[in-house]
Amino acid sequence: MAAFVLAGAMVAAGGGGSAALSGTAPTGATDPAAARNVSARKADGKKAARKGQPEEAWRRMGLRQLKRQGEHAVECASRSFGQVRKYFLRTPCRSMDRVLFGVVDGNGSIAVVSVVWVTMGTRSQSREFRNLIDVHGTGDVTPLAGSALGLGGVEFTGWHYDSRPTKSTMVIAEAETASGHLSDSMLDATAEVATYLPRP
């Protein structure tokens, strides 16, 4: 997919994508101790998310929720782009919920997290959708505009992404830094935990 900028509805023409299952994500030096810390936070965050406790999940990740906004829809093509949009035109979804979170860590660094629940007609259609969107460069579901959170201008590159199937529903999540600095491993873990958050 093309990268998506949270400044209204402008799609950037550059790289980016859904998951990094094909292509190479940018990487940097990783502190082993910090990585272990993030891994422990992720495990704790998942436990809280599975219990339907989003704010507790963020807390266990060392984050605090600032704001959130959400939208429910029964049509997906107009809320997506690239090959993903073409797929929805051929194979309409049954429903979609999109939520955008703004979260902050103890150092004041802010991240934006997009979580989308897409329900298809059958499990096989959900698998087809996942096989498409998990490939970097194929398009995406358009995140909600960040202006309502006061966090416009954030580009979702698709490198900090995760997806999780549940019956005929696919959950996809992406995380990006809005201000300050969060490590790649922290953004990756945040997206993974977000796929376990309860559907609105």
Q: Write down the domain spans for the chain.
A: 63-194
What pLDDT digit, counting tens, does each position of 175-195 carry? 999 999 999 999 999 999 999
In this prediction the pTM is 0.84
Q: In the chain, how many H helices and how many E strands?
A: 5, 10
Using 50, 70 and 90 to split pLDDT, how confident is the model at 149?
confident
The neighbouring-strand residues paired with 113 are: 101, 175
**Nearest CA-CA partner of 147 in 178, 189, 126:** 178
What pLDDT digit, counting tens, does each position of 30-89 carry? 555 566 699 999 999 999 999 999 999 999 999 999 999 999 999 999 999 999 999 999
Buried b (16+ CB within 10 A) or exposed e, 69-92: eeeeeeebbebbbbbbbebbeeee
Helix (H) / strand (E) element for 73: namely strand 63-73
Angle, helix 83-90 to helix 123-133, in steps of 10 degrees? 160
**Is residue 196 exposed (0-12), middle (13-18) or buried (19+ Cβ within 10 Å)?**
buried
Helix (H) / strand (E) element for 47: namely helix 32-50
